[in-house]
Structure 1
């Protein structure tokens, strides 16, 4: 992001600087271009869109299979990639407390006003589209790869979509989502459903929004933001643990790697996704820009993978738009920058440990726990 800032800063002529171009005028100028500045990282990362599609919707997979060992995941390339990602995260935090950061936040507030005002309506409409689409597809539990022969599930999903019309019946839809999540867990196992905790976050959002409550001061949007972050962190670990799942896709579409080896591409895609997911729980500007970048990536993936991807990711896309439009602010302190490496490293270590330990416990026995 700072690279983009420098590019725009270079657009200020030396003559203007030498003639005493004031900071105030610079901020005014940056405000006029900051919407494009905020969207620039989306263009830069749009090439990673195919890697962010949920690969198990389009390729053969085996959740019970042995994941790649941590000694292969935690290699030199991985360390360099995470170090670069952490540097970008800290740079974003440092920018946030400057006049430039304030200008960016003000610009985001202006261009997302309508989304912010109608976030709940957009969530209800998009979720209604999602549920009606599942009813049309038939034989699907919440996501394209969770198949079922139960004929009543599509009709339940249609009834859930109907309940979104009225605000008072939104908790009924939420209860349906929780029930289907539990049904999917019963059919496919808890480890498999760990890919989708964002559904539980959406259910909580519907209930809290309908009742107008904020337990412990946590807003409905915050709940779904946290679950979206956890969902994407888990998915990023999956890219490192099972890169072979994507191999057929990369073989069919070699342009996706942008000249990198498939191994490096999958590590990079996982690091980008994990860092953006972690950013969703960090400071206001960082999380809003991360939400915009993720939205651009998911939308771009639709053009590559078609309507199945559009249906499956419609819910998280609207959630990300809501996060990008959220104008809640707080003062960014020095410790937000200083503690970023510790929190990022802790989240990374916890995600890797939880994935590998839970997989070994469920599929390989405790004796198969990996050595870290």
Structure 2
């Protein structure tokens, strides 16, 4: 079964197109952690290890050099591209009206569209782009107050983008971490969390699958959603790993999100524009570090820890906020 096309077809944010209930009980862990899930994870780990083993070899160096050449213009203009894309994003939100940052976060507050238009205007000048970053933090906090922490856990990438704008606009780093790396980590966390949601609430996507049955490419909806989640999680984890692995992942993810626009249209284009431009910036980033043997050897362990950590965080967090689901029966909540 071709796995990357599955991710391409499932990359639209389901909350923008289908009914959902964040407070509803998620699929039990005993249903998620099944044989299909295990072989999908094993296959993804093999692909990740192949990328890790290529690091530091002549093949890996050649691939990095090729990426450097192809993405040179994007690298030189990353800041300009981010500002222009976010300007498009905020002007689009102002035009649509009644939206806080992302399509499913609706609001009746008349001042929010105008604030978002103002944030777009502040991106025209480098000296004021930090104010746009602070505005994003304010809107994120307002949305969290309105919709709850668990719902906004889908979108830490907005905080990463805000940090990028503030740090870049003021010429600073975050305790030595570059602005692009801050938003890279935020994008990885966002996508790993979204992956768990695909496993926890596969039924949310049922209307999309019913309307577009070709999405599953002959697989059952259950297997399709597990595969989509595993692929997304693996690519998201790769964003925090070594240079070749994270740049390749960024290229694949950007292609996935761009391809989804042709399938799902304007809403998807607006909603994902910010993360697409961030991924392009990551793909173009030519910062290199010496790859150590332990970077390769420890990849499966860190991947497993990330997978276990996000599953635990999602299910325990949901149990604390909304009550323990059947899948956590007998599991102590600490």
TM range (shorter): over 0.9
Alignment of 1:201-212 (within 5 A): 201-212=160-171
Aligned to 2:231: 272
In structure 2, runs of 5+ residues without a counterpart are none
Cα separation, 1, equivalents of 2:175 and 2:192:
25
In structure 1, runs of 5+ residues without a counterpart are 1-42
Larger RCO: Structure 1 or Structure 2 (Cα < 8 Å, ≥ 6 residues apart)? 2
Aligned to 2:94: 135
Cα separation, 1, equivalents of 2:306 and 2:223:
22
Aligned to 1:362: 321
Confirm whether residue 296 of structure 1 aligns to residue 255 of structure 2: yes
Return closer, same or farther for 1:71/1:368 CA change in 2, 3 Å cut-off.
closer
Alignment of 1:1-372 (within 5 A): 45-364=4-323, 369-371=328-330
Are 2:100 and 2:106, in contact at CA under 8 Å, matched by a contact in 1?
Answer: yes
Return closer, same or farther for 1:368/1:262 CA change in 2, 3 Å cut-off.
closer
Deviations 1:52-75 (A, max 9, x none): 110010000000000000000000
The structure number with the bigger radius of gyration is 1
Kindly state the Cα deviation for residue 341 of structure 1 after the two structures are TM-superposed: 0.9
Cα separation, 2, equivalents of 1:259 and 1:151:
46
Cα separation, 1, equivalents of 2:327 and 2:268:
35
Are 1:131 and 1:160, in contact at CA under 8 Å, matched by a contact in 2?
Answer: yes
Larger mean CA deviation between 83-92 and 46-55 belongs to 46-55
Cα separation, 2, equivalents of 1:122 and 1:236:
27
Are 1:69 and 1:370, in contact at CA under 8 Å, matched by a contact in 2?
Answer: no
Deviations 1:183-234 (A, max 9, x none): 1011100000000000000000001001111232200000000000000000
Cα separation, 2, equivalents of 1:247 and 1:95:
38
Return closer, same or farther for 1:193/1:209 CA change in 2, 3 Å cut-off.
same
Cα separation, 2, equivalents of 1:253 and 1:129:
29
Cα separation, 1, equivalents of 2:270 and 2:132:
18
Are 2:7 and 2:232, in contact at CA under 8 Å, matched by a contact in 1?
Answer: no
Are 2:27 and 2:327, in contact at CA under 8 Å, matched by a contact in 1?
Answer: no
RMSD over aligned CA atoms reads: 1.5
Q: TM-score, normalised by structure 2?
A: 0.96
Cα separation, 2, equivalents of 1:368 and 1:247:
21
Are 2:29 and 2:327, in contact at CA under 8 Å, matched by a contact in 1?
Answer: no
Kindly state the Cα deviation for residue 369 of structure 1 after the two structures are TM-superposed: 4.9
Q: TM-score, normalised by structure 1?
A: 0.87
Are 1:239 and 1:270, in contact at CA under 8 Å, matched by a contact in 2?
Answer: yes
Are 1:284 and 1:328, in contact at CA under 8 Å, matched by a contact in 2?
Answer: yes
Return closer, same or farther for 1:364/1:113 CA change in 2, 3 Å cut-off.
same
